[in-house]
Amino acid sequence: MNDARTDAIANGGATDDNVDSGPIRVGAMLFTLVDPTPGFEVAYNRWYERDHFYGGVMVGPGTLSGRRWVATRALKDLRFPTEPSGHSPVTNPIDAGSFLATYFIDAASVANHFAWASEEVHKLYAAGRGFEERTHAHTVLYTMRAAHHRDVAPIPAHLALDHPYAGLASIHVDRADGVSTTDLDAWLDGDGRDVVLGGGSPVDQVLSWRPIIPDREGPMDLGSGPGGKDRSLLLCFLDQQVEEAWDHLVAFSEAIEAAGIARVALTAPFTPAIPGTDTYCDQLF
């Protein structure tokens, strides 16, 4: 790995030809995985996409983009490990969480955005714009660490939520003793690159994150916590539907553990939600 790429990783920036180091850079992400109460699937879906998606995040300062994803019952059945493990499980039980929303926040506006968001959510609930019939499985803020791209002329990280990817896989890992976030990204950009981004890979890019550990605030229970200081999150953006790419993602997860880099806490697949429709609402449970 050349010095320029090593420096980029160490600074939490791009790893491919400075494609992610321009004036627009992802600084943080809100990752919110939620279950509607059975019987309220359609009502929740319409409230979230028609109001909360915008009023709760998108209109906030520095929001670059947002996208919603779905874990159907069939996709939940692919998750592994099959039982929650470690000191801080991501989902408990393993199949908790049906709707995922991911939002990217501009690096220059992270503090302003989350200061706004912490007040705005209380204002929305006070104005009757909340939704009680839901349960958060895992709602956590993450800091962007690095981007790892498959292609020579890659899609920049800040466009990942706008590009029409066919699927997404989230891989939460707990790094091994002595393995830093920089070490994890160096492995992804070095020895692990062929495993996840080699020829014919359905993974177009992998974005790595670390959780923001401080206490969370909100008018509702936000589900599982961010994990410890050894927790990292890898978001794999897919050119193929997740069912077609799943063997590759399993092999990638196994390679992380075999290399002694980290233990996989949860690998979970998602398909894109279809805006303006209630598609998948009858397939969640």
pLDDT at 7: 36
Q: Is the pLDDT of residue 17 over 70?
A: no
pLDDT at 5: 34
Q: Is the pLDDT of residue 13 over 60?
A: no
pLDDT at 8: 36
- Percentage of the chain exceeding pLDDT 70: 91
- Mean pLDDT computed over 197-204: 95
Q: Is the pLDDT of residue 12 over 70?
A: no
pLDDT at 84: 74
User: 165-180, pLDDT tens digit by residue?
Assistant: 999 999 999 999 999 9
Mean pLDDT of the chain: 91
pTM: 0.91
Residue 50 burial (CB count, 10 A): 12
CATH topology of domain 3-272: Alpha-Beta Plaits (3.30.70)
User: 231-250, pLDDT tens digit by residue?
Assistant: 999 999 999 999 999 999 99
Question: What secondary structure does DSSP assign to the chain, as a single string?
Answer: --HHHHHHHHTT-BSSTTTT-SSS-EEEEEEEEEEEPTT-HHHHHHHIIIIIIIIIIITSTTEEEEEEEE--HHHHTT-BSSS--SSS-SSSSTT---EEEEEEEEGGGHHHHHHHHHHHHHHHHHTT----SEEEEEEEEEEEEEEEESSSSPPPGGGTTTS--SEEEEEEEEEPTT--HHHHHHHHHTTTHHHHHSTT-SEEEEEEEEE--SPP--SS--BS----TTEEEEEEEESS-HHHHHHHHHHHHHHHHHTTSEEEEEEEEEEE--TTS-TTTTS--
User: 210-227, pLDDT tens digit by residue?
Assistant: 999 765 566 678 999 999
Q: Is the pLDDT of residue 11 over 90?
A: no
- Mean pLDDT computed over 54-69: 98
